[in-house]
Amino acid sequence: MNTEWIKVVIAAFFEVFWVIGLKHADNLWAWIGTMIAIIISFYLMIMAGKKLPVGTVYAVFVGLGTAGTVFSDFVFFGEPFQIAKVFLILVLLAGVIGLKLVTKDTDKEGVES
């Protein structure tokens, strides 16, 4: 079941790339890279929904993607550091960990077989 959660995390990681790409891509290769990141991130997110509840997966995907984008703005694009944003990122991560804990291992499993 941890594999499924790792898929969601990697999907969110690629989401950060394509969000940056949509904002900053200025040549053909950057756009191709952005498209590839979109395809990888959606593929992993959709596949994680096979075993985990889709509502949970999509919320975590959107949430971690947003947190990652804000974080990359701090680190790579020189956005001013705001305490409110750090607080919101912590709330978001607490929610993700909570969802991981309350999602039963057996959710939807066995439906396929």
* Residues lying near another protein in the complex (CB under 8 A): 42, 46, 49-50, 53-60, 62-63, 66-67, 70, 73, 82, 84-85, 88-89, 91-92, 94-96, 98-99, 102-104, 107-108
Distance of closest approach, residue 72 Cβ to another protein, in angstroms? 12
Region of residue 78 (phi > 0: left; psi between -120 and 50: alpha; otherwise: beta): left
Closer by beta carbon to another protein, 6 or else 55: 55
Task: Give residues with Cβ within 8 angstroms of 60, minimum separation 6.
Answer: 8, 12, 96, 99
In this structure, the chain runs to a length of 113
Closer by beta carbon to another protein, 6 or else 79: 79
3-class state of residue 77 by DSSP = coil
Distance of closest approach, residue 34 Cβ to another protein, in angstroms? 13
Longest dimension (CA), the chain: 51
Closer by beta carbon to another protein, 36 or else 66: 66
Closer by beta carbon to another protein, 31 or else 82: 82
Distance of closest approach, residue 29 Cβ to another protein, in angstroms? 21
d(CA 1, CA 112): 15
Distance of closest approach, residue 27 Cβ to another protein, in angstroms? 20
d(CA 91, CA 85): 10
